[in-house]
Amino acid sequence: MAGVGGKSAVSFSVLKRSFSLRGSPRSVLTGGRRSAQEGRLVARPPHPLRAHRHPAYVCFSYQDSMSETLRTCYVYLNQTSRSFAAVIQALDGELRHAVCIFYLVLRALDTVEDDMTIPLEKKVPLLHDFHTFLYQPEWCFTESREKDRRVLEDFPTISVEFRNLGQEYRDVISDICHRMGVGMAEFLEKKVASMKEWDKYCHYVAGLVGIGLSRLFSASQLEDVEVGRDTELANSMGLFLQKTNIIRDYLEDQQQGRAFWPQEAWSQFASRLEDLAQPQHLSSALSCLNLLVTDALRHVPDVIAYLSRLRNQSVFNFCAIPQVMAIATLSACYNNPQVFHGVVKIRKGQAVTLMMQATNMGAVQSIIAQYSQEILQKVSVTDPSREKTLCILNVICEKSLSGAALSSRAHHISPVYVSAAMLLAALSWQYLNATAGPPGGADMQGH
């Protein structure tokens, strides 16, 4: 799996990582089966995001009317998903249960992929057939040594709640589980060589999650049908988060014998991927790092387009929070030697602020503009990817600028609009400098 191990993602992001705190990256009930106290789905016409509880203040009283097995599923969710558990539990109505089960099914699949003690001759069939276990009431797996092995050992508890879901949810979860399992198996012994293969790997372990979640959103009728149909935007949501994980966790993955940085990128700067961690190769390492950050940034315009379509507040929070965490993480990683020598993470206070702010489109675009500007200020005139970096930052800025202008309801000039306008002007100046290439030119930090 990209050499030795695998990364897959859930919640548009990660099975084993969250952007709010530190982690590790790898990849409802309907038909009258639950009481009205659990919250029935009410279809809503498209409308601006309405006032809604923030996930930090979710009331968990709905658990009182749950079955014992569903209650256990939420226990597993809280044990395995860390900070995403609260966001999942803030989802409205039956969608909450569908996403919870979706998460746990993919967590179980990922646990199989990650377990290096399972021989390949056994692991490959397990990954290929995993979706069929959802309809085998007694199936479980007791041979894993992974820390989250409980979701495999007690899989009957998860699968029974899967079978309690409406058909529209079961079809989505089973299909994504099948496609993801096949993709994981493909990369068990295959290194991520080209940038195209990097996209393919991230699609299997994260893009499919975005596509599956989007189909669940539409199936619940909380979001328009188009949200589930536009697989390109949904795929970009997952790829942006997964690439951020892979970039940030270079050192951790190296220490665990895993390799996820694409060879096409790192081979331009080093003979071996592990050489990038050597002090004498710092300049080359930063060039490779910045190349990959630039590649990840190209998904941000799709992220903005996707989020702008959402109408349900709980779904918006669920999708937006990981994305703003990701752009903040990329900003922290860009041109940062610490990626190769330690841990790069968002401060807890910063993470909490982002979570509290990212509840409407205008705020999200303001955050994206802010961190895009931070990256801009770190772009060196000597960086090989400078022109591409400035170009994509320019596109991101234009998207943020147009959204900020539309979202402002005040009669005066919005601070977000001013910030985006200043960023656009700075980007244009930088981009022109890059293309002109004057001798002895300096970037905004004087490099």
Which positions are catalytic? Answer: 201, 248, 258, 318
CB-based contact 149:117 (threshold 8 Å):
no
Residues 6+ apart with CB under 8 A from 123: 112, 113, 115, 185, 188
In three-state secondary structure terms, 11 is coil
Question: From CA 405, how far away is CA 37, in angstroms rounded?
Answer: 41
The H or E element containing residue 93 is none
Question: From CA 11, how far away is CA 206, in angstroms rounded?
Answer: 9
Question: From CA 115, how far away is CA 110, in angstroms rounded?
Answer: 9
Question: From CA 22, how far away is CA 83, in angstroms rounded?
Answer: 10
Tell me which residue of 242, 244, 284, 238 sits closest to 371, measured CA to CA.
Answer: 244
Burial 431-444 (b: 16+ CB within 10 A, else e): bebbeeeeeeeebb
CB-based contact 366:416 (threshold 8 Å):
yes
CB-based contact 178:141 (threshold 8 Å):
no
Tell me which residue of 358, 379, 374, 219 sits closest to 286, measured CA to CA.
Answer: 379
Question: From CA 396, how far away is CA 424, in angstroms rounded?
Answer: 9
Residue with tokens 């050192």: 251
Per-residue tokens: 100: 């919870």
Per-residue tokens: 123: 């692991």
CB-based contact 171:196 (threshold 8 Å):
no
Question: From CA 34, how far away is CA 20, in angstroms rounded?
Answer: 33
Residue with tokens 């393919």: 200
Which sign, positive or negative, has the C-alpha torsion 108, 114, 119, 124? positive
Radius of gyration of the chain (CA): 22
Question: Dihedrals φ, ψ of 221, to 5°?
Answer: 70, 10
DSSP string, 335-360: T-GGGGTS-----HHHHHHHHHH-SS
